[in-house]
Structure 1
Amino acid sequence: MSSRVTLAQWQMLAAVIDHGSFARAAEAIHKSPSTLNHAVHRLESLLGVKVLEPAGRNVRLTEAGELLLRRARQLIENAQALEEVADSLSAGLESEITLAVDQLFPPDVLARALEAFSAAYPQVRVQLHETVLTGGCELFDSKQVDLLISGLAMRDHLGVPLVRVPFVAVAAPEHPLHQLQRPLDLRDLVQHRQLVLRDSAATSDMDAGWLKAEARWTVSHVATSVDLIERGLGFAWLPQTRIEASLAAGRLKRLSLANGSERDATLVLYLPDEDRAGPAIQAMVEHLRVAAGLTKMSAM
């Protein structure tokens, strides 16, 4: 088959399907309905295949059209990605980069990476979103951030594991759970207040680790949870990197559980598209890897 079918024709067909009619598609992409109609009929003529059929006042894909458009969308997405890569290359150094970092990520590792990045790129602004659960994933999916560090798996993306974060079940030394002086089970825990972190996503309300205790308090930041637990207001599984000083000073004490006293999560670094990443984003990735102990800093 000749390659006379153009990318623009596939894009116009996709617009007609996405918007349900020639008129709505024409308005959305600022073309006349007749232009779209001609483009689709020309595409059908070149392919020798009917791709659209009437559906009331609208149109829909034929079975062959569904197969062809599904393949064509890959071409459309690749073309858009290529244009974005070119834009990135022509723009040179980014003026600002945006990160979404799960609050479970060790703060000292993040601080070392940011300090090293600041020394190398003092003119680049950094926007940092400290997220919980699916909050960072939501920002990543909506392309509001350049980098994501999350403990949740991202579909269709391969990440770089940075650190493993252990969680420890703790309460203040005077908490009633410690007074039982025996290994604790679920029945003991659900009778007491548990502190959990609120999902920072606008479209989700995920509760990771909640034991369904009636007395639940939900907070938005790990630091708040640590402070309230130290004051004897409940128990929680907290990231060990955030409570080592509290454990050493006796402000917190590990709960003696029969099972499940420790958990862990692996924090993974995700980059939407490595080819589109400018020099500042690539440098931030390198500094995060170095701070996490994965590699030595290469010559920049």
Structure 2
Amino acid sequence: MHYDLTDLRLFVAIAELRNLTRGAERVHLAPSSASHRIRLLEESIGTPLLIREARGVKLTRAGEALLRHARQVFAQLEQMHADLSPFAKGVKGHVNLWANTHATHTFLPESLSAFLRSHPQVSITLEEHTSPEIVMAVARGEVEVGVVAESVEGAEVVFIPYRADRLVLIAPVDHPLAAQPSTAFVDVLDQPFVMLHAGSAIHTFTMNAAAALGRHLEVRIQVRSFEAVCRMVGAGVGLGMVPRSAIPDGPARAALAILELQEPWAQRDLKVCVKKREQLSGFAAALVESLTGSVQDEPPP
């Protein structure tokens, strides 16, 4: 198949406007030139993309597939431009950092702010993944630095202590559980829960913890932040499980009862994960040093 970005831009314009002439105008082409390009594009692909009608055009199934993929292509191009633009502005280095939900929503904002203030020539891409996904990506060399709460047996990586924290159960202050200092996770699985959105690392972790007990968690509502979880729980929507560090101060905290979870997995000490510290690129090494100070590496499990 032979086509270029101009062909794809033209096709997207025509498909969105459902009109060849107006699509050609959007990309600054003459209608005759646009018609010729579309005909060559259809010949190259080997199937019609548009059905010509009296008042415009409509897409064939092949045209709908091409439109979907073309939009993805242009979205990727925009992301590429966004990723490259800092270098044109004088940024000298870039670090990819993967972290679990816990770290991303609690400690990392402050830590990364401090690092970037002292390293203005560096940019960071932060992606949220589950701890096992992060450990395996580091072990495979796909990402240099991760922040995790769990290890993966046999993964050839090292862990460096970052922050100590613990998952706790939160309930409305007038809930029957509120008088208890602690609870087992299994004892609250018949209660409705407020959770972070599906796909977040802590959502996956919590659902897996329930499944390991042969139970299914009733999720009443999903939100986008730990702060929103706390506010929903305080309003009586359901129970929540959050890191202790994520519970806000002030009126929002006053509306919550905080119960210790009795499970060993509730202790969620965060660690920086790298393959080999001595093999890190310069800016990745500087980031690890900023996050952990002079703390010694821990060997893999």
Q: TM-score, normalised by structure 2?
A: 0.53
- Identify the residue that residue 246 of structure 2 maps to in structure 1: 242
CA distance in 1, matches of 2:107, 2:164: 12
Question: Which of 255, 268, 273 does residue 271 from structure 2 map onto?
Answer: 268
Judging changes above 3 Å, is the alpha-carbon distance between structure 1 residues 261 and 251 closer, same or farther for their aligned structure 2 residues?
farther
1:165 match: secondary structure: coil
CA contact (8 A) 2:116 2:123 kept: no
Q: Which AA in structure 2 matches 1:252? A: L
- Identify the residue that residue 163 of structure 2 maps to in structure 1: 163
Query: How many residue pairs were aligned?
Result: 197
Q: Which AA in structure 2 matches 1:114? A: L
- Identify the residue that residue 61 of structure 1 maps to in structure 2: none
Judging changes above 3 Å, is the alpha-carbon distance between structure 1 residues 165 and 208 closer, same or farther for their aligned structure 2 residues?
farther
- Identify the residue that residue 148 of structure 1 maps to in structure 2: 146
Judging changes above 3 Å, is the alpha-carbon distance between structure 1 residues 131 and 175 closer, same or farther for their aligned structure 2 residues?
farther
CA distance in 2, matches of 1:185, 1:165: 18
- Identify the residue that residue 191 of structure 1 maps to in structure 2: 190
CA distance in 1, matches of 2:231, 2:141: 34
- Give 1:243 deviation, angstroms: 0.6
CA distance in 2, matches of 1:242, 1:260: 19
CA contact (8 A) 1:189 1:213 kept: no
- Identify the residue that residue 105 of structure 1 maps to in structure 2: 103
CA distance in 1, matches of 2:209, 2:101: 15
Q: Which AA in structure 2 matches 1:253? A: A
CA distance in 1, matches of 2:263, 2:248: 19
Query: Superposition pairs for residues 50-199 of structure 1, below 5 Å?
Result: 95-105=93-103, 109-137=107-135, 139-141=137-139, 143-154=141-152, 155-178=155-178, 189-197=188-196, 198-199=198-199
The percent identity for this pair of structures is 19
Q: Which AA in structure 2 matches 1:152? A: E
CA distance in 2, matches of 1:280, 1:185: 43
Deviates further, 192-201 or 235-244: 192-201
Judging changes above 3 Å, is the alpha-carbon distance between structure 1 residues 107 and 266 closer, same or farther for their aligned structure 2 residues?
same
1:126 match: secondary structure: strand
CA distance in 2, matches of 1:143, 1:261: 30
- Identify the residue that residue 252 of structure 1 maps to in structure 2: 256
Judging changes above 3 Å, is the alpha-carbon distance between structure 1 residues 254 and 108 closer, same or farther for their aligned structure 2 residues?
closer
Q: Which AA in structure 2 matches 1:120? A: S
CA distance in 2, matches of 1:277, 1:193: 44
2:271 match: secondary structure: strand
1:125 match: secondary structure: strand
- Give 1:255 deviation, angstroms: 3.9
CA distance in 2, matches of 1:247, 1:269: 33
Deviation per residue, 1:17-52 (Å, 9 max, x gap): xxxxxxxxxxxxxxxxxxxxxxxxxxxxxxxxxxxx
Give the alignment's Cα RMSD to 1 decimal.
Answer: 3.8
- Give 1:241 deviation, angstroms: 0.4
Q: TM-score, normalised by structure 1?
A: 0.53
CA distance in 2, matches of 1:209, 1:246: 31
- Give 1:229 deviation, angstroms: 1.9
CA contact (8 A) 1:103 1:222 kept: no
